[in-house]
Amino acid sequence: MTPPLQFVAHPGAGRGAFARVWPAMATALAAADLEHEVLLTTRPNEAADLAREAARSGARLVVAVGGDGTLHEVVNGLLTADLPAEARPALGLVPAGRGSDYARGLQLPREAPAIVARLAACL
């Protein structure tokens, strides 16, 4: 069974920022007792494929972990999942890129506990 919370991460985003942000995220997720799965990309455009599959398998929230490029791919995957709009999962973002313009523009939190609290509120 697919956990309701799926993370799609590009480990190379932001010169390896995933490795720097994920330990704190993992700790915050464990503290919040949120069932989740982490899907790591291994090739270009794979984030879209992983997000599409997460949507099709019933995830309620798909979270891009990376920069603006990873977010773009995850959005494209969700929008091409061949599901009615009401059946598509919500989208989240853990900023882990060089610029993270979307996260900055939306004033998203950057601290793991605050990010996890927001994600939990979406489930």
Q: Residue 107 above 90 pLDDT?
A: no
Task: Give 84's pLDDT tier (boundaries 50, 70, 90).
Answer: very high
| Helix, strand, coil tally for the chain in percent (to 5) | 50, 20, 35
Which pLDDT score is estimated for 108? 84
Angle between helix 46-56 and helix 68-79 axes, rounded to 10 deg: 40
Q: What is the mean pLDDT of the chain?
A: 92
Cite the active site residues.
68
Q: Residue 12 above 90 pLDDT?
A: no
| pLDDT tens, residue by residue, 13-66 | 778 888 999 999 999 999 999 999 999 999 989 999 999 999 999 999 999 999
Query: What percentage of the chain has pLDDT greater than the value 70?
Result: 98
Q: Would the pTM of this model clear 0.85, i.e. be above it?
A: yes
